[in-house]
Amino acid sequence: MAGVGSYDDWTGNVIPDADMRSLDPEAVAAASAVYSLSHPEDDVRDPAVLLSKAGFLKRG
């Protein structure tokens, strides 16, 4: 259990049974916008491909 003033860091953890439907569509749109600014040469429209290229997906 985390102590006072600390928190559990879920960064990089794999969530069992999670899939694209588990993600907040607004968060996916925000990640897409930021990725597109940094990589204008990539015209990625598929959210799963974009999140994979951006390094957000571990098993997908």
Distance CA 52, CA 39 (A): 14
The two tokens of residue 43 are 């015209």
**How much is the CA Rg of the chain, to the nearest whole Å?**
14
Overall pTM surpassing 0.85 (yes/no): no
**What's the pLDDT band for 58 if we cut at 50, 70, 90?**
confident
47 backbone dihedrals φ, ψ, rounded to 5°: -55, -40
> Has residue 33 been placed in a domain?
yes
> Has residue 49 been placed in a domain?
yes
Total number of domains constituting the chain: 1
Residue 2 pLDDT > 70, yes or no? no
> Has residue 31 been placed in a domain?
yes
> Has residue 4 been placed in a domain?
no
- Please tell me the predicted confidence (pLDDT) of residue 26: 95
Domain residue limits at 27: 22-53
Give per-residue pLDDT as tens, 4-47. 777 788 777 888 888 889 999 999 999 888 988 988 888 888 88
> Has residue 37 been placed in a domain?
yes
Largest CA distance in the chain: 45
